[in-house]
Structure 1
Amino acid sequence: MSDDGPGPRDVARRLREGMARGVLSFPLTAFRDDGSLDPDGFRAHVASRLAAGPGALFPACGTGEFFSLDEDEYRQVVAIAVEETAGRVPVVAGTGYGWAQAARFARIAEEAGADALLVLPHYLTAAPQAGLVAQLEQLAARTRLPLITYQRGQVAYDTEALRRLARIPGVIGLKDGHGDLDRLRRLTLAAPEDFLFFNGAATAELQARAYAAVGVPAYSSAVHAFAPEIARAFFTALRGGDHGTTEKLLREFYGPFADLRDRVPGYAVSLVKAAAMLRGQRVGPVRAPLTDPSDADLGALRELLAAGLDLVGAAL
């Protein structure tokens, strides 16, 4: 691993500072109607998300359809995010599959100027705890970029595995997508004090208060990709202890949005992209294996989005 560039502690410090200021933003990857990458559309989308003040930017991750990008497209996406960010907030690029493939994407992200990597769950197979740790060891040995591991799907660490992960040079944090707060609390207790944790549950705002109660106040926000006004209003109310506002937003926007999201597999991305299009963002359709929302669901989304924006005094 090269020693060039900012070290893991510096990147972790910048991420911690960003997490205290705003939500973690996961931009959408823009495609044209024919399914090809739209670099200009992506650049405009990233610029508008940055204007809304996120704590950090995570391009080419789950919301950004990492799983459907080839290596050249990935390079363009990460490079554009780095260029548009211009050092204002950390850029954490997605990587994944097996460690050998993850290392190839890591090299591309490193060359493009990313600050760190979010390691998405490995492909297909179940693995024991020792294997999950070895996956990160192999990747960490092949990149200078700090790593944040994402436990979701078939990846779920126990406390001993977490202790081993935290000792790997370059591993600085964990994103949780399971929502098992008992397990997560045990992990936070087992980790070093400077180890980063954040809430990566689907529609994370629904569980934000519960996560904060077990020591994980930072969270990613898919809503920031299409309605940063709503995401910011919720973040501000949550951090300010304004339970009335958070409950109103949860009851009238986030809860119904999650109900709509659960209708079809993949809507966690498809609805976000459709909502961004409704707001005038040129992000285009999703790629297979995802599908765009039905006309009926798109109509329901339009009504819900208008109601959510009305709640925070913004316009559709």
Structure 2
Amino acid sequence: MEKIRKAPKGILGFPVAPFTENNKLDEQKLAQNIKFLLDEGLEAIFVACAAGEYPSLTKEEYETMVDVAVSVTNKKVPVYTGVGGNIQTSLELAKISEDKGADGYLILPPYLVTGEQAGMASYFKTIAESTDLNAIVYQRDNVAFSISTLEALADVPQVVGVKDGLGNIELNTLLTQTFKNRFGWLNGMPLAEVTMPAYVPLGFDSYSSAISNYIPHISRIFYQAVLKNDQVTVGDIYQHVILPINNIRRKRNGYAVSLIKAGMEIMGMPVGQTVRMPILPVEKEHYAEMERILENALNRYPKELVTQSL
């Protein structure tokens, strides 16, 4: 059968990497995290990516995370892995992902190096062409795509999507209007719900949702309200859920990861507060603030409301 060359749409699940107090990967809690995301209807699983502390993983831990994701999802939804940084390591992990039955991978920017656009295009193209898996290329940090770069990647069948983590609306407008449906467009901004109402009109039809690890039904209500142009619901969730959480996230570098684990613990899905350097755990005062926000969020949007919003 010919491989389906299409990026996943909708709300995308990014499980964390649960570590024990002894800094060991907890496979059981990872499996529970992924099963929860599946049960909540998320449209794809992206394992061992930024939320999964990809840069800190050993090769063996990476292999384990891919094994768990492929096993738990059991082909219910696509499984994407994270690759990127060091080009040689990326090629090795891309092959591991293919061998272990993943559907594709998210290619993160090269580590530390800022290259010319031709060099960036070659980096992403080389990784994408190294296997037959689908590839999503990620612009963030030191990478901003030019039209010429995406023109080169548009000739690669494996490249099915572009993920944005820069938040440059002018650039995103230029890219989406130039390439339209050639790529799937994914919002990868930290706490993507903040920007999704601005991204949808550009053609972005999916996003990575950190809060779906602990309040996925609210993310679902919010996204449906965005698609329906229900400004009342969008505004209320902004005011009482998304922006307060985002305000905490912005207080410390690394909270894009550690705040997810805190939210999961508060909501009764403990994966531990252990994170790997240079990320630090959520501070006590911010944890308590997060508790108050989530209590208020559940009072305003109990889980049974999700069926009424669809």
TM-score, normalization: structure 1? Answer: 0.92
SS at match of 2:51: coil
Give me the CA root mean square deviation: 1.5
Query: Could you say if the C-alpha distance between residues 6 and 88 of structure 1 is closer, same or farther in structure 2, counting changes exceeding 3 Å?
Result: farther
Deviating more after overlay: 204-213 vs 280-289 = 280-289
Report the structure, 1 or 2, having the larger strand content. Answer: 2
Task: Tell me which residue corresponds to 1:294.
Answer: 283
Task: Tell me which residue corresponds to 1:194.
Answer: 182
Q: Is the 8 A contact 2:44 2:78 kept in 1?
A: yes
The answer to whether residue 104 in structure 2 is matched with residue 116 in structure 1 is yes
SS at match of 1:186: helix
Match of 1:307 among 287, 291, 296: 296
1:236 Cα deviation (Å)?
Answer: 2.0
The answer to whether residue 4 in structure 2 is matched with residue 46 in structure 1 is no
1:282 Cα deviation (Å)?
Answer: 3.3
CA distance in 2, matches of 1:138, 1:289: 29
Q: Deviations over 1:239-269 (max 9, x none)?
A: 2222111110011111111111111000011
TM-score, normalization: structure 2? Answer: 0.94
Q: Deviations over 1:175-230 (max 9, x none)?
A: 00011111011111222523111111111111111101212132111110111121
Task: Tell me which residue corresponds to 2:307.
Answer: none
- Structure 1: runs of 5+ lacking an equivalent: none
Task: Tell me which residue corresponds to 2:143.
Answer: 155
Letter paired with 2:284: D
SS at match of 1:183: helix
Paired-residue identity, %: 33
Query: Could you say if the C-alpha distance between residues 265 and 78 of structure 1 is closer, same or farther in structure 2, counting changes exceeding 3 Å?
Result: same
The answer to whether residue 59 in structure 2 is matched with residue 77 in structure 1 is no
Match of 2:217 among 209, 229, 238: 229
SS at match of 2:206: coil
Letter paired with 1:236: Q
The 4+ residue runs of structure 1 with deviation greater than 2 A are: none
CA distance in 2, matches of 1:33, 1:273: 14
Letter paired with 1:31: F
1:168 Cα deviation (Å)?
Answer: 2.0
Task: Tell me which residue corresponds to 1:135.
Answer: 123
SS at match of 2:232: helix
Letter paired with 1:310: N
Task: Tell me which residue corresponds to 2:257.
Answer: 269
CA distance in 1, matches of 2:75, 2:22: 33
- Structure 2: runs of 5+ lacking an equivalent: 305-310
| Number of equivalenced pairs | 303
Letter paired with 2:184: L
Letter paired with 2:176: T
Deviating more after overlay: 177-186 vs 306-315 = 306-315
Letter paired with 1:165: L
Match of 1:185 among 161, 173, 178: 173
Letter paired with 2:84: G
Deviating more after overlay: 103-112 vs 188-197 = 188-197
Task: Tell me which residue corresponds to 1:35.
Answer: 23
Letter paired with 1:295: K
Q: Deviations over 1:20-53 (max 9, x none)?
A: xx41111111111111000011011111111000
